[in-house]
Amino acid sequence: MDILKRMEQPTPKFFRMLRNIGLAMTAIGGAIVTAPVLLPSGLITFAGYFMVAGTVASVVSQTVINDGNDEDPTSKSDTIGIGDPNPLLVPKQ
């Protein structure tokens, strides 16, 4: 699945909320950076980082999709027990 089709898929509720928070962070940071008044350089730097963090949170949250697989994440098939081989080192068949 390419990135454009992935971003068109439905997004879970938690990640929609996280995306909106990221958009708000980006907007607040942008408002501080482009303010027409003289602000301390530390605040401008912080606002720049705030914008980057908000942008990254928004983009990553938008790419998470709900694939309909709502199984219990603690099911036995998904966990690795003591003595189980490392699944990253076991060759695929």
pLDDT, one tens digit per residue, over 7-48 is 778 888 899 999 999 999 999 999 999 999 999 999 999 999
In 3D space, the residue among 54, 50, 58, 55 whose CA is nearest the CA of residue 15 turns out to be: 58
Which has more confidence, 25 or 64?
25
CB atoms within 10 A of CB 17: 12
User: Full-prediction pTM beyond 0.75?
Assistant: no
Alpha helices (runs of H) in the chain, residue ranges in sequence order: 3-8, 13-33, 41-63
CB 66 within 8 A of CB 8: no
